[in-house]
Amino acid sequence: MINTREEDEMKMPMGITYVMLPAPAPTTGLWTMMEIKMTGEQRNVQEVNFGLHSSETNKLASVQDGLRYLQHFLISMLAYAPVDMRADGSSSRARKRPRTGVSARPAPAPSLEPPWEVLRLVGPFLDAESLAAASCVSTACRDAFTAEHLWSKLCRSQYPSALGLLPTPDTTSPPYRRLFALFRSANVRRRALPPPRLALDDVTFAMDIFAGSGKNTLSFVVAARDAIAKSGRFQFEVDVAARNAAVGKGEFWTVRLTAVRTAGLGVAFSPAAPAAVVMMEAAEVPASRSRPLFGGVRGETWAMEPLPAPGCGGGAKVETEVVFDVSGEERLLEKVRFGVMAQCRYVSIDDGLRYLQHFLL
């Protein structure tokens, strides 16, 4: 059966021709398929793909099914010929003629496994996944597809730096297959972090602001969910203009910021106990950063304080930043923004929750 599908040369210069013929017995339902890609009016062949196609699954046959099919024909040609392995790895076969007057021995029953010589020809054309899958078919396939020269080729093409881990360049039997598996597993180990166990709805922030004289100017609590900024980062924003709180003309004022997990707070016999962690302790906010302001002119000032690192203390430097929008000579507080930063950028919401869960859970 020949099915030809060619596009209009003016619209699409690429044409594809399919050739499908039923594969001979003993297996039914398999077709030999060939795909030929051509271009131009002269039908120049650009690419040829071929393989076994299963009519039952309407897909190409797997490597194992293809080998099982070929073994019915290739074994019959090699079953009676003794193998003479040479020193260079090549082999030769010679058919022995029965002696005159002596009956020939009955032919041995064909083995169900493909001969080693056939598998040796297939191996160099398989990728790592196919080699690993084919090696599980039988003992002969395992011996053929775990050969180190096959995995040496894959190591040199995909992980050439891995060869530097070999003990010596002239190692008699380098473990290329194990080396390839080691570097391939590195991709699996580099997986995404799990979602945080602490939810945004479980966190509340408490902030206290003190003027330079030590007087408490403003204190408030706000749920993290209600104050989350539109930036999509772990940054929060609170409008305090209606509270008419002014920090005055002092050289600085101080801020204390506390994160609280309120689960179980005020609930008798609750299995979850509340927890809190100080994110900024008496940080000094220089008033000079807001510049001399007159009338309704606005400005901003800020403070930053390093946060303790969770776990063993490694990782990027983490800081808390608080920014104040102020107006007028009395430094009237209008808006407060705060969040967690790493390398001068606000972290994501999940990363911020992962940091807080080390202290609140």
Residue with more model confidence, 213 or 221: 221
Most confident of 99-113, 190-204, 280-294: 190-204
Q: What residues does each domain of the chain span?
A: 2-81+109-189, 200-360
pLDDT above 60 for 19: yes
Evaluate if pTM is beyond 0.85.
no
Q: Give me the pLDDT at residue 90, please.
A: 43
- What is the per-residue pLDDT across 229-268, written as a single tens digit (0 to 9) for each? 888 899 999 999 999 888 877 778 899 999 999 876 655 5
pLDDT above 50 for 2: no
CA distances from 355 to 119, 168, 322 (A): 54, 45, 18
Tokens of 90: 């090549």
Q: Give me the pLDDT at residue 119, please.
A: 75
CA torsion sign, 5 to 7 to 8 to 10? negative
Residue with more model confidence, 229 or 336: 336
Q: Give me the pLDDT at residue 186, please.
A: 83
For residue 32, the cross-strand partners are 21, 52
Average pLDDT for 78-104: 45
| Arithmetic mean of pLDDT over the chain | 76
- What is the per-residue pLDDT across 102-151, written as a single tens digit (0 to 9) for each? 455 555 555 545 555 677 788 888 888 888 888 888 888 888 888 888 98
